[in-house]
Amino acid sequence: MTKHDKPGNPLVTVRPVMTYRDMSKFIDVPWHIYTNDPMWVPPLRLERRFHFSRYNPFFKHGEWQAWVAFQDGRPVGRISAQIDSLHQERYGTDSGHFGLMECIDNSEVFAALMLHAEAWLASRQIRRISGPFNLSINQECGILVDGFDTPPVIMMPHSARWYDRLLTEQEYYPAKDLLAYRVRVDFEIPRIMQILISRFSSQITIRTLRRDRFDEEMEMLRDIFNDAWSENWGFIPFTQEEFAELGSSLRLLLPDEFIQIAEVNGKPAAFMVGLPNLNEVLAKLNGNLFPFGWLKLIRSIRNHEIRSGRIPLMGVRKQFHNTPMGLALACLVIDAPRQAGIARGIQEVEMSWILEDNMAMRNILDHLGCEQYKRYRIYQKIL
């Protein structure tokens, strides 16, 4: 425990998360930050506790420490620092991350939190810090810097408006911007893209998930994703355990039609995973599945009450990048699930996140009439 005191200001105490009770306080911090923010969607406490437990596959290759800041005995902020060996294999052993950052609009509190995260990393020979990653780039990441007027969709972060300023005060600077697009599901494929798709129609087959071979299908999707994204900024491969855990968490929520796979001459070449935006329901549960929250969640899915969705995972094998075939594959996997979505009441879909400099994907989305409506930012600093 470390105390930070300045004349005229309430004492700031920063405590490491060590016990079950500490973790409960860490999980509850956002409720103290977003009380008056109608756009914030409370996460499920049960899911958050699993995410931070030793059962999270991230901890097979990552280590971390978390802290909570208190002022006058009240939780006013939190932060984590983590080291990912998979990230270090690709980007150097002097790289580390911060994440799970929440704080009241108070520079002293924020500085105290960052001091602890930076000191923990520096003691482990880390010289370059970036974030926020919650806990890795394959999970929620970034600070919302534009688009505060709408709530986040499933598995996307929300942020307080002052976070960009607080990070800048601590000499963090932008590393990369991530974009979110939205589009109505009744969009029309432009004529020029229809012509391109027809050109390759004899070679491309679109199919849905084969649920009777679920584990094999998940491994195939992981292989495509890791290949498709391997040269993107910040890429870290999904491990087999991580993707299997992701698949098991979605298995009961997703209809087969929400996973579309494109094959070229019989070989899997691209895929898309769509999710119903469960945040529409979670916003009403205040983080609690029990006693009746789980019934509301199941009823909303079963009765097709959810009106929006998200495409969180999509990939086209690297051999087709920057080719007409690759463009056709991307258009087809985006287009394929639309009728199934419409039948289930989905009206609008978010595609996120997209790297700001991924102009190939951004051009496709622009041609489809998608609107860029949110911007997230990753920051970095040399310690």
Q: Which domains does the chain have, with CATH numbers?
A: 2-178 (3.40.630.30), 186-346 (3.40.630.30)
- Is the pLDDT at 173 greater than 90? The verdict is yes
Q: Which of 362, 377, 81, 334 is nearest to 187 (CA)?
A: 334
d(CA 240, CA 159): 31
Is residue 7 pLDDT above 70, yes or no?
A: no
pLDDT-based confidence at 129, cuts 50/70/90? very high
The pLDDT of 88-93, averaged and rounded, is 93
Dump pLDDT digits (tens) for 232-290: 999 999 999 999 999 888 887 788 889 999 999 999 999 999 999 999 999 888 888 77
Could you give the CA distance from residue 140 to residue 159 in angstroms, rounded to a whole number?
12
Instruction: Look at residue 175 in the predicted model and tell me its pLDDT.
Output: 98
Cα gap 330→321, rounded to integer Å = 10
pLDDT range class, residue 8, cuts 50, 70, 90: low
Q: Which amino acid is at 245?
A: E
Residues 6+ apart with CB under 8 A from 116: 2, 14, 16, 67, 79, 81
Average pLDDT over the chain reads: 93
Contacts of 261 (CB under 8 A, 6+ apart): 206, 207, 208, 209, 217, 220, 221, 268, 270, 271, 333
- Of 210, 200, 180, the closest CA to residue 377 belongs to 180
Model-level pTM? 0.93
- Distance between CA 226 and CA 237 in Å, rounded? 5
Distance of alpha carbon 72 from alpha carbon 81, whole angstroms: 24
| Of the candidate ranges 73-77, 288-292, 354-358, the one whose mean pLDDT is the lowest | 288-292
* pLDDT given for residue 382 in this prediction: 96
Amino acid at 157: P
